[in-house]
Amino acid sequence: MLLKWSYMAKDKIAYVCSHCGQESAKWIGKCPSCGQWNTFKEIRIAGDSGQMAARSAASNLRNARHNEKNKAMRLNEISYGDVPRIDMRDDELNRVLGGGLVQGSIILLGGEPGIGKSTLTLQTILNLTDKRILYVSGEESAQQLKMRAERLMNKASDGLAKGPEDTEPTDSSQLLILTETSLESIFNNIKETLPEIVIIDSIQTISTEEVDSSPGSITQVRECAAALLRFAKSSGVPVILIGHINKEGSLAGPKILEHIVDTVIQFEGDQHYMYRILRSIKNRFGSTSELGIYEMGQNGLRQVSNPSELLLTQDNDGLSGIAISSAIEGARPFLLETQALVSTAAYGTPQRSATGFDQRRLNMLLAVLEKRVGFKLVQKDVFLNIAGGLRVTDLAMDLSVIAAVLSSNVDTPIESGWCMAGEVGLSGEVRPVSRIEQRVAEAQKLGFKDIIIPKNNMQGMKARGLGIRLHPVRKVEEALRLLFG
């Protein structure tokens, strides 16, 4: 027994950086590859020497064949054609993907738990009745997916349908459901069913027998994603991976997962609000400046083609602390309602709170309002909210934030029909913003009569023929004088 035990290989301990995937034989405080601190995690590698040797031989053979096929080519010898895409029957999703799903691509869809990732994916593939789709679920049973699909297919009865095509019953005979967590079993089912699209929900639940660690670990996620990438590129079948978000707000698993995939899209929003934003973080086949907006209903997600009409309150006349801003998120312009409340500090220490807006940016704008305009807010609480539950990063919101705060401070409402767009600098100047023509056109489309814009944006603009009056300003004082006299 002792002799037999001596020939058995022991398990090895390795350390892998959770940020970039760098491996090390011992624990290191700072990763030498990405420079992050305290990111090395301990993993256990199986000590089956025969299996490791066979795996190494197979890897060498695969690399040798790969090297035989690929040869260096001159740039002018490479032929280029249009990338074939699959229409997802969803305008918002097609916009974010860059025009549709590219064949042979691998997509990573991330989002917080309960935000609607699985609902969006299942709702989309139910409309692709002409494609054979394999939906692999490692989190839900087949009965749970059937119940959700039935609810989504009956959405027309609740008024969520967009046209006559949604009232017809959905043919789900081409949708195959597989509840499996083993990667080897998933590939066996793929060989038998020959799907045209593969969906993995979620990548953190899938494991392979080649790695001796628990599902969701750094090594398992990396190896499974790499195997699915090889399958997608070699077969031309697009693969959609659904991933989780950790408490820091980034995609769970190693950072190398985002480098492996072709496209990373994030589904975000507040669970207490009905709006969801689909944002592209990385896209090798399109722009990362596009985003899609959905409205979460009881029976699924509805596309929001004109978000400005839904985000604006129609009966805010006579209410102080409300300013309308023409913002751009991604490549889409829409009008947002900025709400502010300024009150005397009840407990001596003033509070500063912002929902949907950068807290540090708010503190800077309040300092500009005190220093450059002369309004003292030291002993007052300031609360800021972007209506609709959206989180906006557009710097053109600065002017509306200052206007809303001042409107609440003096308890004077802003006249209806006014909106604004402009970045505010530390010296109180109104700096120019990008895509001013799209902002003005969006405000005009929704019936606004006056818009305040930076003076430097007037170069090259034609004010004549517009159904909206342009008010160029150079400083914050000029904008506030136009609004409050």
Per-residue pLDDT at 368:
92
Per-residue pLDDT at 160:
44
Q: Which of 230, 177, 172 is nearest to 201 (CA)?
A: 177
Mean pLDDT of the chain: 82
Residue 168 has pLDDT above 70, yes or no: no
Residue 59 has pLDDT above 60, yes or no: no
At 70, the pLDDT band (50, 70, 90 cuts) reads low
Kindly report, residue by residue over 234-247, the tens digit of the pLDDT. Answer: 999 999 999 887 66
Per-residue pLDDT at 157:
44
At 314, the pLDDT band (50, 70, 90 cuts) reads low
CA distance 421 to 479: 11
Q: Are 368 and 428 in contact (CB under 8 A)?
A: yes
Residue 68 has pLDDT above 60, yes or no: no
Q: Are 232 and 262 in contact (CB under 8 A)?
A: no
Q: pTM, whole model, 2 decimals?
A: 0.72
Residues in the chain: 485
- Distance from chain centroid for Cα 157: 30
Per-residue pLDDT at 12:
67
Per-residue pLDDT at 36:
82
End-to-end CA, the chain: 95
At 257, the pLDDT band (50, 70, 90 cuts) reads confident
Average of pLDDT values for 333-352? Answer: 88
Strand 263-268 and strand 106-111: the pairing is parallel
Per-residue pLDDT at 426:
93
Output the CA torsion 259→260→265→270 (10° steps).
-70
Residue 337 has pLDDT above 80, yes or no: yes
CA separation (Å) from 165 to 87, 95, 159, 171? 15, 20, 13, 12
**Residues 6+ positions from 341 with CB-CB distance below 8 Å:** 321, 381, 382, 383, 408
DSSP for 65-80, written as a single string: HHHHH-----GGG---
CA distance 479 to 411: 17
CA distance 218 to 199: 20
CA distance 70 to 434: 44
CA distance 278 to 291: 5
